[in-house]
Amino acid sequence: MTNKEDNGKEARLLAYLRGELTDEEKKRLQDELTDDEEYAGKLERLLLGEENEGKLPEVIDLPEEKQRKILRRGKWRMRFGNSAFTLGIAFVAGVVLFFINGWFGSMMYDELFRVTRSMVNFTQPGITAGSSGSQIGLFYGNIRMELREQVGKENQNAGRIESTNLLWLINTEPKWPNGVRDVKLHFRYPSEAATPEETSYLRTPAWKAMEKLPEGTVSQLAISFDKLMTYEEYYQFISRHLPDYEQETVWFAVDTGEEMKQADKDGGNLLLSTGDVWGFSERSLDYGQAPIQVNGEGGRRASVYLSEMKYLAEQERLSKAVGRGLMWTNDPKIQERYDYLQEHGVRIYGTVLTGPTKELLKLREEPSITAAFLGKVDWWNWESPAASGTQTSW
């Protein structure tokens, strides 16, 4: 629209307000106002004094009801425009928050899930994180994982763990059955040499209990050694006493350097358990697409374990937050442990085994075992049934 046309239209509106138009011209102008919202808006602004104030006639030759109608229309138009603008801003803000929350929530979920799963695997002897569920809201996330422990051939429920984040605040809390966890699996760190007689009190109760258990039972057993071993050395050791089909090693206690520091402080025999022992379940490590050999490829297992330790060290804030719920410290010293493992390698000083009770009892004759602690016991389940399953309610 040109300036000349604008001026002409404005002149007609002013003439309309002064009452200078004929009836036919008024009707034609009113039809134009009906069809042209912008033109009608200009009339409203003239009546409201919002533009061309100096050109507005002193006397407006329009019926008062007509003026009120035009003014009401203008006010409602303004209200609608303001409301639409406000709603538009709110909608855009909502869409932006939705995508930010989706991106942030997904990122936080992936990191928190991985850290929680690995911290359970590395700090809870015999326990692994199983199936999981999650809720993700506006800057809020909740991850629930089932905790499992293997007794014989069965993976039994050991409770659950919940990790919740609100913005950057993380809270992790294990939920044990009936609110209590019986800690039965302990390890002796080989900080100093000891004769079998000096450590017999750490083994005898377990062996006596296993003697009294009936033949048709399976058990968990935590054993400790008088020296540090590599993965390959451990399997050479265990194979001399028990064939693979009579036992399964489900967790390894690993020397991370912090154990020796604790031993130097305490002196004498150092017993470690949940909250201060560190290790891994080889079945819970992620080996990628390539399968791994059973009881072999110790170097590859160690490499995967170190890789996950590095990840936990990089996720220091999350690791500390999850660690507060699983360990008895505010600082699990993951970076220090990782640096030590990098320098000295992955060395084992204890394991958690499960199998037929009477088969595990054969380890009683091994003098290099400095401690033995009996865990859970169950009726015979060493032969897997043709079909089985579980149903969980969160």
Q: What is the pLDDT of residues 216-231, one digit of tens each?
A: 999 999 999 999 999 9
The mean of the pLDDT values for the chain is 81
Measure the CA–CA gap between 203 and 211, rounded to whole angstroms: 13
Measure the CA–CA gap between 70 and 284, rounded to whole angstroms: 75
Question: Does the pLDDT value for residue 59 go beyond 50?
Answer: no
According to the model, what pLDDT value does residue 286 have? Answer: 85
Tokens for 249, please give them.
């090693």
Question: Does the pLDDT value for residue 185 go beyond 50?
Answer: yes
Domain limits of the chain? 3-62, 101-175, 183-379
HSE (CB half, 13 Å, CA atoms) of 157? 17
Report the pLDDT averaged over residues 111-127.
92
- Provide the β-strand partners of residue 147: 129, 159
Question: Does the pLDDT value for residue 343 go beyond 90?
Answer: yes
HSE (CB half, 13 Å, CA atoms) of 46? 23
Measure the CA–CA gap between 283 and 297, rounded to whole angstroms: 13
Report the pLDDT averaged over residues 148-153.
94
Measure the CA–CA gap between 34 and 22, rounded to whole angstroms: 18
**The three-state (H, E, C) secondary structure of 6-26, written as one string:** HHHHHHHHHHHHHCCCCHHHH
Tokens for 294, please give them.
């059973």
Tell me the range of 179-193, 208-222, 232-246, 252-266 where mean pLDDT is highest. Answer: 208-222
According to the model, what pLDDT value does residue 377 have? Answer: 97
Report CA-CA distances (Å) from 352 to 8, 123, 161, 298, 372.
95, 13, 21, 17, 10
Angle between helices 3-18 and 23-35 (to 10 degrees): 130
According to the model, what pLDDT value does residue 139 have? Answer: 66
* 208 Cα distance to chain centroid: 42
What is the amino acid identity at position 376? Answer: K
Measure the CA–CA gap between 116 and 56, rounded to whole angstroms: 74
According to the model, what pLDDT value does residue 391 have? Answer: 65
Query: What does pTM read for this prediction?
Result: 0.72
Residues 6+ positions from 212 with CB-CB distance below 8 Å? none
Q: Calculate what percentage of the chain has a pLDDT beyond 70.
A: 70
Question: Does the pLDDT value for residue 276 go beyond 80?
Answer: yes
Q: Calculate what percentage of the chain has a pLDDT beyond 90.
A: 43
